[in-house]
Chain A
Amino acid sequence: MSEPGDAGVERAVEPIVDRVLPDNDVLHDLLEQFDDVGWEVSRGQDLVHVPNHGWLDFARAAHDAGFEMCVDVTVVDWMRSRPERFEIVANLLSMQHKLRLRMTTTAPREQPTVASLVPIWPGVNFAEREAYDMFGVTFEGHPDLTRILMPDEWEGHPLRKDFGVGSVPVQFKESHQVN
């Protein structure tokens, strides 16, 4: 439950009706704190849907609830099949409770942005840079959001569905003549 006094930002919390809560104590307590986070079980794995503005808060609460490690952050590009184009997925791991949790959120087609999880788990630094490089999703609050896998001057975001599949001619510039 987010208080209206939260950094002066008034966010419209849309509680989910008829929400089912998990049996697991840790997850139950975690999800009780948030009204607008949905939970489901997908192929035997716990999955929570978090609204974009609540990404960082939920992550912080999950970290405090015992999810010490964020294993991965990645993006799925749904193109036109979903109302919001990009789905950002973070996989969490709790070693003390032996639990895994997957949290997802969405970002729109134009200027997709989501909060960066680096302040909570420094280990997602590279993963978020890769997501930015491959999809163009901006992670707000990331200390160094630059291309990581492609050359710095590369144009386009390769893993988007509208980026071509075929090979691209060699892009390198002349090497420095050393002799």
Chain B
Amino acid sequence: MSDDTKSVETMDVWVAGTEEPQFSPTDEGAQEISDHESDARLDEQFGRVVEDDYVFDDSVGDEDERMILNMGPQHPSTHGVLRLQIELEGEIIRRTKPIIGYLHTGMEKTAEQLTFSQGGTNVTRMDYLAPFHNELAHALAVERLLEIEVPPRAAAIRVLLTELNRCSSHLVALATNGMDIGAVSMMIYGFREREQILAFFEKTTGLRMNHNFIRPGGVAADLPPGWKDDVAEILDELPKRLDQYDDLLQDNPIWGSRTRGVGVISAEEAIAYGITGPPLRAAGVDWDLRKAFPYSGIEQYEFEVPLGEHGDVYDRYRIRVDEIIQSLRIAEQVMDSMPKGDYRVDDRKVTPPPRARIDESMEALIHHFKLFTEGFKVPPGETYVAVESPRGELGCYLVSDGKARPYRMHTRAPSFANLQALPIAMADSLMADTVATIASMDPVMGDVDR
């Protein structure tokens, strides 16, 4: 009881500077103004002087002032389960350490248990935004070891699907890039366009994602009737929608100030760190595997490789938009010139017979049985094949010892290498630019962690 009255008393009388406060005032701006304040402090407290504490002043810098901030692994803007430990000095990032492994699936171990034609199901889930590219790298590696060539129609179907996949992957990149920076409508736009492409994939392969369609020997099935209309519709609609994106982002001053000059990676840094794909081309290096080491007949088609100048987030965004346009150009050429013929190689030891033949021929039945239970054997050897995925050089290093299952399958993941550039791109930049930088590197954690 007596305590209450005492507290009431002290609360009644609070004249600044006259009573003893019951708690020690914190120094983050104590509310009272003491009468022996220096003029400078008085100015500060009265708001006559504004301290800009995010402008870094060398004299303030001190080792003790650094703070380690943990971003992720569960975070809306890290594009999957990426964990970043950021050492901050105020708002400026001094060091970054990406910690990965939160999505490690042991796919390389699983690959040793699956046959070569089942390998596609495994590999396709690595970079899950560009599944056709994973399958293509794997299939090309197996075909290199088998020393077979796929028929032209199969190669053309592969090109069509991988280029449309590049479009859908870049649309996700633009969508998440936009949403992370704040243009939330980009998310809806990007996924809306993607639905059209995914509908075509579903019609062709049966699945919207993770298709297991490009298999060693060709593709799993022929294109459905009426595919030309679907592709023509995509080719019609997508450029108009890209104009919508340009309306939203291209001359937008907010977008420009958040992306220009941010997250810069120079050409020397990019080459030294093994970065490939849009971040490398944004730095001005003209390197695209489709032009340098063409595969699957892509050299027949005319297309350009967009390049950037400054290596910043804006250039990467611009390159992705331009690459969508170039991919649509390739898709149009494929559509116009699709060769007729077989969609898979004729070698009986590799491709299963058509289902109708199984009822008629004993040999076909046996082949089918052996191919799907034991799998075809690949002669011993090793090879490394790389394709240009939307993220960069996606390579498959395959070692076979003569059996039906790979001895060692290793995927060179583009996001794995690109992620090493994050500390470089983020060094000495502001914390708020982190999200923009990560989004522009476009890491897919399934690719990184496998």
Contact = CB atoms under 8 A, between A and B. Distances in A.
B442 interface: no
B104 A45 contact: no
Interface in A159-179: 159, 163, 165
A102 B384 contact: yes
Interface string B97-120: 000110010101100010000000
A173 to B, nearest CB: 16
Contacts of B408: 76-77
Contacts of A102: 384
Nearest to B147: A43
Contacts of A44: 144
B109 A159 contact: yes
Interface stretch (A21-29, A48-56, A147-155): A147-155
Interface in B380-400: 381-384, 386, 393, 395, 397, 399
Contacts of A91: 384, 395, 397, 412
B45 interface: no
A34 interface: no
A70 B276 CA distance: 11
A122 interface: yes
B271 A68 contact: yes
Interface in B306-356: none
B140 to A, nearest CB: 11
Contact of A121 (B100, B272, B287, B399): B272
Interface string A56-95: 0000000000001111101011000100000001010101
Nearest to B410: A74
B101 A150 contact: yes
B383 A123 contact: no
A62 to B, nearest CB: 14
A74 B450 CA distance: 14
A95 B259 CA distance: 29
A69 B292 contact: no
Interface in B287-306: 287, 292-293
Interface stretch (A10-18, A106-114, A124-132): A124-132
Given A43-B383, A126-B417, A70 B101 contact: no
A39 B287 CA distance: 27
A143 to B, nearest CB: 12
Given A43-B381, A76-B399, A81-B401, A69 B274 contact: yes
A76 B291 CA distance: 30
Contacts of A43: 144-145, 147, 381-383
Given A98-B293, A159-B108, A74 B274 contact: no
B255 interface: no
Contacts of B113: 165
B292 A95 contact: yes
B201 interface: no
Interface string B352-391: 0000000000000000000000000000011110100000
Interface of A: 42-45, 68-72, 74, 76-77, 81, 89, 91, 93, 95, 98, 100, 102, 121-127, 130, 134, 147-151, 158-159, 163, 165
21 contacts: A42-B381, A43-B382, A44-B144, A69-B271, A69-B276, A70-B274, A71-B393, A72-B384, A72-B397, A72-B412, A76-B382, A76-B408, A91-B384, A121-B272, A122-B272, A122-B420, A123-B273, A123-B417, A126-B416, A149-B101, A159-B108
